[in-house]
Every structure is written in C-alpha cells, then in structure tokens.
Structure 1
Amino acid sequence: MRKLYFTTLLTLCLLTAYAQTNVKVIDMRSGEAIPGVVVYGSINKNAITDQNGFVQLNLSKSNKFTFSHISYQSLTKELTGSDIEVVRLIPEVSDLSTVTVSAYDTERPLMLQAGAISRVKENELYRFNETSIVNAFNTKAGVRVEERAPASYRISIRGSSLRSPFGVRNVKVYWNGVPFTSPDGTTPLNLLDLSNIQNTEIIKGPAGSIFGAGNGGVINLESRTEISNNNLSSELNVGDFGLLRYRFGIEQKIGDGGISASYVHQKADGYRDHSAVDRKVFQLAAHLKPSERQELSTQILYTDLFYEIPGALTTDQLEENPRQARPGSKDQNSSISQKSLYGLLSHKYQLTDRVDNQTSVFVSTTAFENPFILDYKSETAFSYGGRTKFTRNDQIGNVPIRIIAGGEYQYGKTLAQNFGNRNGQADTVRFSDDLVTTQAFLFQQLEVELTSKLLLTLAASQNFSRYDINRTIDASALAPTDNSRKFDPIIIPRIALAYRINDASGIHGSISSGFSPPSIDEVRTNEGSINLALEAERGVNYELGYRISHGIFNIDLVGFYFKLDETITTFTNDQGVVLFGNAGNTNQRGIEAQIDYAPWRNQQSTIQELRISHAYTGQFFEFADFVSGGNDFSGNQLTGVSPHTLVNQVDIRSNLGIYLNFTHQYVDNLPLNDANTVFQDAYNLVGSRLGWRQSVASSWDLEAYVGVDNLLDEYYSLGNDLNAFANRYYQPAPGRNYYGGVKVGYRF
C-alpha cells in the first residue's frame, strides 16, 4: 500500500512538473509546415519535427528551446505550455528574388534594386580568420581590400585605390546609418573589429545621388541591433606570428530592445620585422522601442590602436629577405598610434501611416601620432554631424510612388603638426596647421512603380564642400598663411530602371554622375606644400545588369562603363614624399559576375548542405588622356588594377555540427607604375577553415575551429606601393600560416 502511495505521488509530481505540449513549426512567409527541424531543449533530448511539422515536447511552466534547420535561421523561444504552440521560422534567404536590401536608402527586394550591390553577411565574415575584413570582402566581385601591414587597410571598389597610397579614400563608409568617413574624406576603417559588424551592403560605383560625394562607391556597415535573449559570450583566437585575440560580450534584453557591451583585444607580432599590431575596442549599444511608432538606438565606440609600419621593399630586398622592414623604418619607429571615441544617436519615428523620419547625429574625437621615416606627424581632431531622411509612401492615381528627401552635414576641426623625426621622437616643428573641413549635401529621390514589374528611380543631390588650412607655423617661410578652397555646389543626378521579368529574374540599368573632391591629405601633403589647384574628380557611370534566381542557384551579372575626368593620381618627389595631381581622364570598362548554388541540401542526411559560389571581376581600365613629366601614358593600363580576378568557394555543413569552408582566389598581374614597366605577378591564394558548431542543452552555444591561409605558400604582396620612389613597390604578405579558436555563448 505504501509503495502504491509513493508511486502515485511521484507520478502526480511528474505530471505537474512536465506537461506535454504539441508544437508545430511553420515557414513564416508561406505558412507551410517544416519537417526535420531539430529542437534543442533543457529537459528533452533533441527532438525532430515530423512530416507535418509537429513535435511533442515535455516542459515545465516555462522553458526555452532552440529550433534549428539548415534552410532557416535558428530561433530560441520560450514556450509557455499551451496545448498547441506555433513556432515560425524565417528562411535562411539566399534567393535573390526575396533578399531585401537597403541600398539607396530604400528597402526593396534586390531584384528591384537598379544598381550593383554586394552583401557581406555575418556568417561570411566568419569563414576565415577573424582578425580582419580582408578575406570576406575580397570574395565579392568588383571589391578589393588590401592590407599593406596588419590593420593598415586600403579599399578599392572598381579600381578606386589609384589615389590611395594608404588608408581608405574615395569610398564613403557608413556605420549604423551615420558617416564613418571623416569630413576630410578619409576613413579609419581599422578602428572596427569584426564583432562590431554584423551585415554589410556595398554599392559599387557612384552613389552620390543619395550618399553625397564619392566615385568609388559606398559601404554600409551595421552592427547587431536585435537582441532576442540575454546572452554572455566569449571567444579566443590564436595563430602564427604571435596572434592573440580575445573578446567578451554581454547582451541584456529589455522589452522589445536591449543593451549590449563588448570588449575585444587583438595583438600580433606580425609576419615582417617591425609589423606588430595592438588594438583594443570597446562598444556599448542600446536599442529601445519607446512606443509602437518609435525606435531609439545609441552606440559608443572607443578604440585604442597601435601598429608598426614596416615599409615597402625593392625587388632586391624582397628576394634577399621578404620579412625584413624597409631600412630606417624600425630606427625611426615608423608607426601609427590612434585613440578614437565615437558616439551616435539614431531615432526613427513613424509620423503618419505614410510618412516616417530617421534622424541620426554623431560626434567623434581622435588623437593621432604617426612617426615616419621622413617626419613625425601629430593630430588632434574633433568632428560632428548628422543625417536626416523623410520617406513618404503614396500613390498618384493607381501608381504607387515613394519620395525620399533629406540632408547630411559634417564638420571637422584638426590641429595638425609636422615635426622632424629624431629616432622615433618628435623633433623641431616644421609646420603646424589648423584645419577646418565642411561637407554637406541635400538629397531627393523619387521612385515610381510604373507597373507591378517596372520601377523608375529619379534622384539627385546638391553637394557643398570647403577646406580651410590656416598655417600658424612654417619653419621654412616663417610667416603664417591662411588658405581656403570652396568647391562650387555640384548637382549629381541619377536615373535608374529595374524590370522584373518574372518571379525569378530581372534586369536593371542606370546612369549616374559622380563627384569626388580631394581629401585634405591630398591637398596638404607631408612635405608642407598646399595644393589648392587640385581639382575634384567628375565622372559618369553607365550600367546594365541581370539577375536570376532559381531555387538552388543565383546569378548576378553587371556590365559598366565609367568615364572619369580629372582623375587624381599619385607620384613621388625626390625625397620620396607622395604627392597628388590630376591626370586627364580614364576609361573604365568592367564586368562583374557573382554565381552561387546549393546542389545538395538535406536536413536529414549526414551532409546537410553543399554550397558553391564563384565571383569573377573583369576590369579593363586605361588612361584615356594622361601626360605627366613629359611622358605620355595615354592608353596604358590603369595603375594598381588587375584585369582579371576570380574567387571560388565551397562550403560543407553536416548534422554533427562540423563544417568546412574552402576558398580559392586568383589575381591576375597588375601594373605598379603609370608607365606599365613594372608588374606584380599573378598569384593564387588558397585557404580553408574546419570547425564544429553546436547548441547544447538549449542554453549553450559552442564552437571550435582551425584554419590555414595561403595554403600554397604563394609569394605575393597584398597592397603594393604605386609609382614608388626608388622602386620600393612591394609590401610582402605572409606565407602559409595557421590559426584556431574557440567560442562560448550562454543564453539566460
């Protein structure tokens, strides 16, 4: 009798503690049931939905479960114990007909975007060693990121690095909706860690109609904004050449939003002598929804960056020892030390059912030190600005229209001083300037849905820019001078058409104008000259593209012709200082093709997914009219541009959590000087990453991985010096090298 009593009591307790709940998992868009979804829970062993999308779970009053499927985004949800729960999963979109992008400040399916646009998703950033953006960005057609030394980036979109001996120029970069490009035209992209970026959209070619001055293109970076649950995370990454990177992060959900904080420290000794890097990045973010009509976001980013500059080598030095630094670099402590604080506040408001506004403001400060072989540069900079945009969705008769209008303003003030360099220490001041830069523009865009398949876009912007260079000290002239340059207001138009042939394919075409004033580093050079005669680049881009998407494969093809006048190019004086000049005009013709397909995808098999992609870039650029130093370079291939680039990728995922990523990149030979007498040889880069990723007991996310870069041990330079003084063209990149890491996340 006593045994029966205790057995009954135990049964009642179990029934009280664990209730059976039927859960149906469906596609959020189509509403169709999803079989084969793996459910990770804290009480149940892993369960799988049946052919009708149902699974029976035992749970207490409140339990969190993670729903995972190869074709859908993973979801962690707290089930309440209802008799029937419905879980909706979002497809892991790869279909171009359903991909939505925000290019040109308007959210539309990629099939209806009339422009060459590439996306770099978060999982693509993590196919490689997680120390830089280089490898992930270089998988996209028309995009090339170079790293002359660790943390020293140079970005080329359609050959736009011609005027960038170092740094990022002629490419406009936004971070979370506000300009990350400084008012003076430079972009400190090396201040960001990969963890500060979740998704990226790259607009190739002039986008001045909506994003102001710039011929190279626009990069929109976004950090994580959606916080679905409370989370603690940490990761560790190690590798050759003394690489050590670690990160700690926390996310706290608050209502429909939340707050997050992360700290990352990355350091390495470097492949070459005098090429160490040390970067610390702290980010604090808050995303709140005060009401149904409002969203409020704020970000604080602080970066402490130091990296050494080994300098370029001649051919003889390269053959002697590619790991050596340029003579004098180490003795003069050639390096960059930069501390930056960046803050932004963004507010979205739905004014009416048809009108909304997004306004963002930012402020930043920077302390910059740059001892170089020839001098010592010190800057203290402060800038602020903002961007506002109004969007109205309406219709004229039965024709839907969308009107976008707004403006952007940036102001920057810098105290810039150049000293002599005595063994890496600042010596006597050579010259000192107070620099003030103002950039502003107004933009308008009209989108008209002429039919359900045809979209017309008309856009324009009015651009204003001004430099003030007030020289307070000049050791050579001994007399202060005031210099200013105001560029006449420039109107940049754009017209575009996108036609959706059917649900799976579409064509697009556009004509857009570009305008790119010289950056202040191009006007005010390191030897002290001020070149106010340097003209802004002007260009017109003609583009035609075709996109098709059929389930397992996507093709994105575009051809363009860009006519650029007053092209800004580099040359060096007798002391080796880089100077800038206008080079007549260039003709830039190109083809970009991106193809990806998934020939195998089966949630139930051991190998769940096989994905293959290819990206081809053909850039047939030439100087149309260029005479310099009495030499006629007309008809020569554009300096620093490879005519052919091909990237191949293979990704494999298994139901055991094991994944394998394989990447091959071919870069054709490219000219290193305007005369086309020196070329870098073609090379092939091969890399791979093998890892294991799994959710455990519904609360833990674990990952471990190992990888190799430059598997073939190729001899190449990732970021050559163009038109180099004394034939110092080469910045040798690492040979074969290995890395590995672990990640741990806990949801609570």
Structure 2
Amino acid sequence: MKNIYIPVLFLVTSFSSHAQENDSIQLNETIIQTFHRTTPILETTTSLNSINKHQMQLNHPERLMESFNTVPGVKMEERSPGSYRLSLRGSTIRSPFGVRNVKIYLDDFILTDATGNAYLNLIEPQFLSSIDIMKGPQGGEFGVETGGVAVLKTLKKDGVKASIGTGSYNQFHENINFNKQIGNHHLHLGQSHYQSDSYREQSAIKRNSFLLKDQWNYKNENELNLLLLFTDLQYQTPGGLTYNQMQADRRQARLATATLPSAVEQQAGIKNKTFLGGISHLWKINPNWKNFIMLQSSFTDFKNPFISNFEVRKENNFQGRLYFEYEKQLDQIKLNTRFGTELGLNKTSFRNYDNNAGTKGNPQKFDDLQTYSGYYYINQHANIANQWFIDASLSLNTMNYNWETLYPIVESGKKSFQMQWLPQLGVTYKFMNNWSVRGKIAKGISSPTTEEVRSSSQEIQQNLNSEYGWNKEIGIRHSINQWFFEFTVFDFDLKDAIVRRQDENGNDYFINSGGTKQRGIEFQLQSKPFNFDHSIFTKGSFFVSGHLYDFKYNQYKIANNDYSNNIIPGISKFSIQNSISIELLNKIQVIWSNYFNSKLYLNDANTVEEKEYIIGNILVDTNFKIKKSSLSIYTGVNNLYNSKYSAGYDLNAFGNRFYNPAATINFYFGTRFTL
C-alpha cells in the first residue's frame, strides 16, 4: 500500500508547485442544482457530494460502481454483474440486492417505488451527466429514508455521442445519445446495449435500455418535462460460496448440497423488464410564486428462478409529487418556502412455483400486496446577508400494506405503520468568502419494503416495524484557488434497525434489531484541472476521499445470542480512495484510481472476518479533433493489482456462504464519437 500512495503524494506536491490555474470558475463557486433549486456548495447545510463528469469516467462500461465509490461514506457493491447494492453510511445491512433505505431520483422523477425499493441497475451510465448525493436522513421534501438521497441527472448538452467497445469475458457494449435544442424543446434520445459472459460461472448479463426525454420551455420560464424509460435486464446469479469453495475455485457458482441443487442446475437468475413514464410541469405563477407537479407510472415484469423456487412478480407503481414555492427578498434576508406532498401506490403480485431446472413447476405460494405511502412537508430556507444559511423542515409520513394470500390457503390482513413527524434543522455560516462551517440535526424513518414484508421466505412479516433515528452532524468546507476540502463528523442512533437473515434454503427474511450506534468521520480533497507549463504534461487533477467509522449494534439479542456492542457486518472501519488524472500532449488522458477498504465482519456474531484489500484501475483515453467533431479511443484495466476480493458479500449467510468473488485483472477498450 505504501508503494501505491508514494506516487500519489508526489503528484499532489507537483500540482501545488508547478501548476497554473486553468479554470476561472473556482470550486467554491460550484453550484448544486436539485429540484429546480440552485445552491453554491459552500452554502449547503447538508452533507452533499456531487459526482462530476470526471468521476463518471471512472466507471466500467455497464455500471456506476467506481464513481459512486469515490464519495466518502458511499459504497456500491456488486454481488455479481447486474446485482448491485448501494450503501450510504452503512445502509446495506438490510439489502440482499437492489437499493433500499436510499431515495433515488432521476431528474424530476422518482426511481424509488412507493414501498422504498429502487432498481438502480436499470439505468445506463452513459445516459447520465452527474449525480448528487445527500447522506443521512434528509426529511422534508425527500420524505422517508434514513440512508440518504441520490439524484441522477441526465445529459443536457447538445450533440450526438456514440460509443462501442469490447473487453474481457466476451464483453460487448454500444450506446448512442442524441441531444438537441429544437426551438423551445430540448430532446434527449438514448439507446444502449451491454452483454458479457462475466467472470464466474452462471453470471452472464445482458441489458437493453431506451430513454426519451423532452423538456419544453415556454413563456414566463414555465417548463414541461416528459420522461419515457424502458429497460430489459437479464442476469444470472451464481450465488455465494464458502471460504473453502472460493479457495478451491473462485469462478464456480454455488454448489449443490445434499438437499438442494446447484445454481447452474436451477438456472438461477433475474429477468427484469421495467417501463417508467412520467410528466412534470413547473409553473412560474408570478415573480414570487411557483408551482411544481409531477405524475408518473411504472410497470415491472420480474422473474427470478432461484435455488428453492421460481418467483414471478408483477409490480405496478403510481406516484405523484406536488409543491408550491414562495420566494421573497427582505432587505438582506432572502426567504424561500416550499410546501407540498409526495404520494405513491404500489400493487405487487407474488407467484412462487417449484423451480424445475429453470422452468416453472407446481405452485408454492400466491400473494398480492398493495402499498400506500406518502408524506406532507414544509421547507423553509433563509439566506441572511449571504453569510448565514438556514434550512428547516417538517414532514408527516405514512405507509400501510394490505395483503391477501390466494394459495395454498386464502387469508388476508393489513399493516399500518405509525405516522411520524420528521423535523430537520441545518445551519451554515460562511466566512472569509472561502470557508464555511455547518451543523445539522434530523430525524429519519424507513419502513419495510414489499420485498421485506414478503421476502423470498414467502412469509408475510407482520411483526416487522419501521426503523427510525436521529442524526447529528457538523462539517467544515474550504475552497482556495483550485482546491476544495471538506470534513464531516456525524452521530446517528438508529432504533429498530432492519437486518437481513437467511434460512437453511438460502431464502432471505428480515427482523428488527434493538438498534445501532453509528459514528463516523468523512473527508475529501479535490482539485480543479490544472495547466502545466510543460510540453508533454499539459493538464492534471487530483481527488482523494475516505471515512473512519465506528458502527455497532445496541441492545441486539436473538434467542440466546447477544450481539450488543458487536460491530455491524459488511462495513469497513476505514476506507480511502483517490484518482489522479494526467493529460499528455493535449490529447491523451490517463486516469489512475485506487480504492482501499479495511477489514470487515461478515456476520452479526463477528466470528468471520474479511481481510483488507485494495483495488486499482487505470484508463487511457486518446482524443482526436476532427473539425467540430471528436473521436476518442480508450482502453482500461480493472483490478490492476490482481487483488482477490469480493465486491459484495452475503451477510449472515446460512452455511457460511458469504463470498461472491469479483473478477481478477481484466481489460476493456473501445471508441467514442462526439458530433
């Protein structure tokens, strides 16, 4: 590890000593724009990070994992290609797959369904320009979550971008994005295809995605947006291995046991076809008042042949968002008030059958669930003399389920979760033009998703309750010339934390623990691009971030087992990640990135430990200007140091099948054309 970070320190010194400023826009002027509200980074009261264009380049072609993992406190995990989890400050303890406890938005629209589950793997990375991440409970206009919020932003710059490439394990990908301002309309058409046999047995993936966005700006700055998204995703699931099985053959899929067949025999995998359509409208009523309304619907056809059963799900979602905004300047005080609501309805049918080598057999269990969720909120923002910035909000949240079992018996019931008020207060003080300090306190709540109330164990978990807690944090930000630094300390006490368990058949089920105590430090240092006074080394930039966590259970007992004060599994105590970008001869860009994670535990008892690991990636991108167009040829190496690790673990797995080995050193290359 020392050998890796010596060059990093050398390059930091070189940047400071020999670089000249390149961009007139300083980092303290970086603007965050979310939900039609713009805020300079130094004035925000929340723990907010933006994944920019440079960080988006770090991704392997089909995923967002590398760019997400540059953000301190954020960990995107890959159990197998296509199967992703997103953790904000340790929120994946309850997610065997998918994204829970983190609210995901796509521009004006909601990717998280009405129950709190999001299929982030449906999104083609090449459709996106940037991502904003808010860590910890946000409350207010973001409603129900305790992990945080991620806002994905689609491309908006005019032009045609096309790429095609290949790589290890028979990987092939192509995509095209067309963005054009046509009168008062801005049109975005996107198409992509990705496929790969992948590293492990039974882990092939194929994804086709299509995107249509139309933004119509008409009189008085009014705005009408249309979104249509369709993704057909298919990926195989190799399953977890024991440590000895992994040592014998990292690439094998889950093996058969005396009572259960193997993943290959059962053709284990996921087929997900999802359509999302929505329309939003921003109305500038007068100079002081605005109104926003959004309506959307989605349908998911989900099939999951698993070891013990074949599940078929049909998911229908209907969601809406409405707010009014009032803004007023009073001498040196600028006030902004928003009040509104977000409502959702989810209807899901579960049909479980015997799995006969990848085909449906006799019925096992049929259930229908209907979920109503919503919240009402008011947000108040105040800017006092461009020095004090205050955000206060209050929301009232509700969720309930109606369920009906149709087979093998007929029964029904309902579950209502207690309505809770969620207050939030954040204050930022800016001084000397390039420093700011902030403090925030917020309450968050996250109710069980449909897949937790009715998990793969096929039981309706009527005793499962919402998790909730208070988060307190303070932070400091500083921007000087081309450098930006941020340091945050937080303390989060979570009650009735939802945790995942597994039965002897590998089926998931969920319980409430007594709670968790989560304390941590997060930091980041980044630069804007620098110009070098050198004929070969022409530009450069640098980024480093990390965390130091102390996450433990509090009063957590199961039967005769007492896990109180044990370290929460799946979360490394320390991580650090960096990227260095060097431009050569004004046309060749080299990006070298590293991700280090300290050891972690794989079960609640803290009896199984995974050692630390470091991952290195490198990308070389050569750009050629052709009149008004550009052609780039790129090649990348993932897992540069050939580390043996798992990119995602099955925590608390029955039979100690914790491990999902990630690919060793692998390669990809391709070309991009921009018009």
After TM superposition, is the score higher than 0.5? yes
Task: Give the aligned partner of residue 378 of structure 2.
Answer: 444
Q: How far does residue 129 in structure 1 lie from its aligned partner after superposition?
A: 2.4
**What is the CA–CA distance in structure 1 between the aligned matches of 2:588 and 2:663, rounded to whole Å?**
28
> Alignment partner of 1:326: what SS?
coil
Asked whether the 8 Å contact 1:348–1:358 carries over to 2, the reply is yes
- Structure 1 residues 241, 405: closer, same or farther in 2, change over 3 A? same
Which of 340, 352, 368 is the aligned partner of 1:434? Answer: 368
Asked whether the 8 Å contact 1:663–1:687 carries over to 2, the reply is yes
Which of 316, 321, 342 is the aligned partner of 1:382? Answer: 316
Which of 127, 137, 149 is the aligned partner of 1:218? Answer: 149
Q: Does 1:141 align with 2:111?
A: no
- How far does the alpha carbon of each residue in 1:668-700 deviate from its partner, in whole angstroms, 9 at most, with x for none? 0110000111011100111100111243212x1
Task: Give the aligned partner of residue 286 of structure 2.
Answer: 352
Which of 206, 211, 219 is the aligned partner of 1:278? Answer: 206
Q: How large is the Cα RMSD of the aligned pairs?
A: 1.7
**What is the CA–CA distance in structure 2 between the aligned matches of 1:116 and 1:492, rounded to whole Å?**
18
- Structure 1 residues 104, 206: closer, same or farther in 2, change over 3 A? farther
Asked whether the 8 Å contact 1:703–1:743 carries over to 2, the reply is yes
Which of 412, 420, 427 is the aligned partner of 1:497? Answer: 427
Asked whether the 8 Å contact 1:516–1:536 carries over to 2, the reply is yes
Task: Give the aligned partner of residue 45 of structure 1.
Answer: none
Task: Give the aligned partner of residue 672 of structure 2.
Answer: 743
Which of 622, 625, 632 is the aligned partner of 1:703? Answer: 632
**What is the CA–CA distance in structure 2 between the aligned matches of 1:105 and 1:202, rounded to whole Å?**
16
**What is the CA–CA distance in structure 2 between the aligned matches of 1:613 and 1:260, rounded to whole Å?**
31
Q: Comparing both chains, which one has the higher relative contact order based on Cα–Cα distances under 8 Å and sequence gaps of 6 or more?
A: 2
Which of 96, 99, 107 is the aligned partner of 1:176? Answer: 107
Asked whether the 8 Å contact 2:27–2:482 carries over to 1, the reply is no
Q: How far does residue 324 in structure 1 lie from its aligned partner after superposition?
A: 0.3
- Structure 1 residues 412, 369: closer, same or farther in 2, change over 3 A? same
Q: How far does residue 599 in structure 1 lie from its aligned partner after superposition?
A: 8.7
Letter in 1 for 2:432: N
Task: Give the aligned partner of residue 449 of structure 2.
Answer: 519
Task: Give the aligned partner of residue 166 of structure 2.
Answer: 238
- Structure 1 residues 568, 706: closer, same or farther in 2, change over 3 A? same
**What is the CA–CA distance in structure 1 between the aligned matches of 2:324 and 2:533, rounded to whole Å?**
44
**What is the CA–CA distance in structure 2 between the aligned matches of 1:70 and 1:658, rounded to whole Å?**
20
**What is the CA–CA distance in structure 2 between the aligned matches of 1:185 and 1:96, rounded to whole Å?**
34
Asked whether the 8 Å contact 2:489–2:522 carries over to 1, the reply is yes
Q: Does 1:418 align with 2:349?
A: no
Task: Give the aligned partner of residue 271 of structure 2.
Answer: 337
> Alignment partner of 2:448: what SS?
coil
**What is the CA–CA distance in structure 1 between the aligned matches of 2:624 and 2:529, rounded to whole Å?**
24
Asked whether the 8 Å contact 1:637–1:671 carries over to 2, the reply is yes
Asked whether the 8 Å contact 1:225–1:287 carries over to 2, the reply is no
- Structure 1 residues 362, 715: closer, same or farther in 2, change over 3 A? same
> Alignment partner of 1:107: what SS?
strand
- Structure 1 residues 225, 744: closer, same or farther in 2, change over 3 A? closer
Q: Percent identity?
A: 28
- How far does the alpha carbon of each residue in 1:376-409 deviate from its partner, in whole angstroms, 9 at most, with x for none? 1001121111112222111456532111111111
> Alignment partner of 1:97: what SS?
helix
Asked whether the 8 Å contact 1:545–1:559 carries over to 2, the reply is yes
Q: Does 1:313 align with 2:241?
A: yes
Task: Give the aligned partner of residue 609 of structure 2.
Answer: 679
> Alignment partner of 1:135: what SS?
helix
Between 124-133 and 174-183, report the one with greater CA deviation: 124-133
Task: Give the aligned partner of residue 338 of structure 2.
Answer: 404
**What is the CA–CA distance in structure 2 between the aligned matches of 1:421 and 1:722, rounded to whole Å?**
25
Letter in 1 for 2:466: A
- How far does the alpha carbon of each residue in 1:27-65 deviate from its partner, in whole angstroms, 9 at most, with x for none? xxxxxxxxxxxxxxxxxxxxxxxxxxxxxxxxxxxxxxx
Task: Give the aligned partner of residue 590 of structure 1.
Answer: 520
Letter in 2 for 1:114: T
**What is the CA–CA distance in structure 2 between the aligned matches of 1:525 and 1:131, rounded to whole Å?**
28
Letter in 1 for 2:296: F
> Alignment partner of 1:213: what SS?
coil
**What is the CA–CA distance in structure 1 between the aligned matches of 2:533 and 2:231, rounded to whole Å?**
42
Which of 170, 177, 188 is the aligned partner of 1:249? Answer: 177
**What is the CA–CA distance in structure 1 between the aligned matches of 2:41 and 2:209, rounded to whole Å?**
33
**What is the CA–CA distance in structure 1 between the aligned matches of 2:610 and 2:35, rounded to whole Å?**
36
**What is the CA–CA distance in structure 2 between the aligned matches of 1:146 and 1:605, rounded to whole Å?**
41
Between 245-254 and 554-563, report the one with greater CA deviation: 245-254
Task: Give the aligned partner of residue 467 of structure 1.
Answer: 401
**What is the CA–CA distance in structure 2 between the aligned matches of 1:106 and 1:251, rounded to whole Å?**
23
Between 255-264 and 148-157, report the one with greater CA deviation: 255-264
Q: How far does residue 130 in structure 1 lie from its aligned partner after superposition?
A: 2.1
Q: How far does residue 274 in structure 1 lie from its aligned partner after superposition?
A: 0.6
Letter in 2 for 1:341: F
Between 653-662 and 499-508, report the one with greater CA deviation: 653-662
Q: Number of aligned pairs? A: 650
TM-score relative to the length of structure 2: 0.94
Q: How far does residue 103 in structure 1 lie from its aligned partner after superposition?
A: 5.2
- Structure 1 residues 646, 391: closer, same or farther in 2, change over 3 A? same
**What is the CA–CA distance in structure 1 between the aligned matches of 2:65 and 2:229, rounded to whole Å?**
21
Q: Does 1:626 align with 2:560?
A: no
- How far does the alpha carbon of each residue in 1:300-331 deviate from its partner, in whole angstroms, 9 at most, with x for none? 11111100000000011101000000021011
> Alignment partner of 2:663: what SS?
coil
TM-score relative to the length of structure 1: 0.85
**What is the CA–CA distance in structure 2 between the aligned matches of 1:458 and 1:260, rounded to whole Å?**
36
**What is the CA–CA distance in structure 2 between the aligned matches of 1:346 and 1:621, rounded to whole Å?**
40
Q: How far does residue 237 in structure 1 lie from its aligned partner after superposition?
A: 1.7
Q: How far does residue 70 in structure 1 lie from its aligned partner after superposition?
A: 9.1
Q: Does 1:299 align with 2:227?
A: yes
Q: How far does residue 602 in structure 1 lie from its aligned partner after superposition?
A: 4.1
**What is the CA–CA distance in structure 2 between the aligned matches of 1:370 and 1:531, rounded to whole Å?**
21
> Alignment partner of 1:292: what SS?
helix
Letter in 1 for 2:662: A
Q: Does 1:166 align with 2:97?
A: yes
Task: Give the aligned partner of residue 568 of structure 1.
Answer: 498
> Alignment partner of 1:275: what SS?
coil
**What is the CA–CA distance in structure 1 between the aligned matches of 2:363 and 2:99, rounded to whole Å?**
27
Alignment of 1:120-159 (within 5 A): 120-159=51-90
Q: Can you give the 5+ residue segments of structure 1 that lack an aligned partner in the other structure?
A: 1-68, 73-90
Letter in 2 for 1:742: T
**What is the CA–CA distance in structure 2 between the aligned matches of 1:499 and 1:398, rounded to whole Å?**
15
Q: How far does residue 188 in structure 1 lie from its aligned partner after superposition?
A: 0.7
Task: Give the aligned partner of residue 203 of structure 1.
Answer: 134
Q: Can you give the 5+ residue segments of structure 2 that lack an aligned partner in the other structure?
A: 1-19, 256-261
Between 195-204 and 145-154, report the one with greater CA deviation: 195-204
Asked whether the 8 Å contact 2:646–2:662 carries over to 1, the reply is yes
Q: How far does residue 745 in structure 1 lie from its aligned partner after superposition?
A: 2.2
Q: Does 1:189 align with 2:120?
A: yes
> Alignment partner of 1:409: what SS?
strand
Task: Give the aligned partner of residue 569 of structure 2.
Answer: 639
> Alignment partner of 1:625: what SS?
coil
**What is the CA–CA distance in structure 1 between the aligned matches of 2:230 and 2:334, rounded to whole Å?**
44
Q: How far does residue 374 in structure 1 lie from its aligned partner after superposition?
A: 0.8
**What is the CA–CA distance in structure 1 between the aligned matches of 2:386 and 2:198, rounded to whole Å?**
55
Letter in 2 for 1:702: L
Task: Give the aligned partner of residue 62 of structure 1.
Answer: none
> Alignment partner of 1:316: what SS?
helix
